[in-house]
Amino acid sequence: MKVAIIGGGIAGLATAAHLIQQGVQVEVYEQCIVPSKVGMGFIMLSNGLQMLQELDLLAKAKKLGHPTHFFSLKNPTGTTILETPLEDALTMMRYDLIDLLQRKLPKSVVKFNHQFESFEYGKNKKLVAANFTNGNSVKADIFLAADGRASKVRTVVFPKRTLYEIREKEIVGVLKDKDLAAHFGEGFMKVISPDGGLSLGIVPAGNHRLIWYLQFDTQKYTSPSKEASKIKQFVLDRIRDWQAPIPALIEKTTVNKIHLWPIALLKNGFEQFYQANLLLLGDAAHPLSTLTSQGVNSALEDASQLAYLFAKFKLKDKPEYLENVFKKFQQVRLPILEEYERQGAVLLEKFLAPFESIDDFQIPLGNNKKNLILK
């Protein structure tokens, strides 16, 4: 039995690592020509960390990442509104996590320069082969699509599932600066505009690095064009009067380390994750609001849950159980992901509204429960 995974991001690589541990024949097809160094970072929460532990990668992740011990909420003049300890939160650069997962796999597993284009079909909507823009065609028994939020696989197989951009956009930046890193310390800080619809998060990522992200309401503030210098200027204009050293943090970030990120969700929610011998995973299946911080964590959960079901149904030797595996995966994962989706909607509503009371505030870290995997 051969499993072809389309997309070598977090979900694709983690799934490959789990399945290879079970002796399943897996190949990952990734569009990047070489391992990607792109991306900023994310906060790994207890559910994601638990999934790394299952892959025996937690100790290494802790060495590469940076523990985030507390959360503080401030207003633009610097007054602290709330401060609370955080349990089990680790900030990681995306490329460190990608590298960690890639190293878990034999080198030949990930086939770079493979951008998925189309499928060839057999009977009953069963996929027989995946075609790539480099001219290669790959046959497999099971296809897993982990090609991210704008998934080409999803648009080919489920053309009616379209994305829409939400009102909130993010501009993310990263910089390395010893003094600023020392100033902002160990905690995740969020500064919110009392008028609503504008906030700046600052997260230390270790090694004197700081990741910051400006979230803004596109109905209140016209989004800048994609030109890097305009994006930076947009951020500076929003936080110019905020307490020092916030303006310096933005000033010191080079324009090539600043990225504008529109957030697109599925118009009709998540629906079915599978069809015949194809299953969608991670952002391809369930793009989530970044306000939940569950993108990476839920991708790791998907990988672990699927691997568990593969083993439980002994799918390697009993391919006739594929539908049972996919059905059970859907049954277990959908309610959990719909809860993240609901939390994303609540967080968005609160973000857009003026800040009135701390009682209404919700720490923007979604659900941080443990043991979400059915075992």
Ligand X SMILES: Cc1cc2nc3c(=O)[nH]c(=O)nc-3n(C[C@H](O)[C@H](O)[C@H](O)COP(=O)(O)OP(=O)(O)OC[C@H]3O[C@@H](n4cnc5c(N)ncnc54)[C@H](O)[C@@H]3O)c2cc1C
Residues near ligand X, by CB under 6 A = 6-12, 29-32, 36, 38-42, 94, 114-116, 146-148, 152, 172, 282-284, 295-296, 299
DSSP for residue 334: H
Q: Is 130:147 a contact under the CB 8 Å cutoff?
A: no
Question: Cβ distance 261 to 172 under 8 Å?
Answer: yes
CA-nearest of 23, 207, 206, 12 to 110 is 12
Q: Which of 277, 293 has the CB closer to ligand X?
A: 293
What does the DSSP assignment read for 276-305? TTEEE-HHHH----GGGT-HHHHHHHHHHH
114: left (phi > 0), else alpha (psi -120 to 50), else beta? Answer: beta
End-to-end Cα, the chain, rounded Å: 24
Which segments of the chain does DSSP mark as H helices, in order? 10-21, 46-54, 58-64, 94-103, 152-157, 178-184, 228-239, 246-251, 282-285, 295-312, 322-352
Rounded (10°) CA dihedral 120, 157, 112, 299: -140
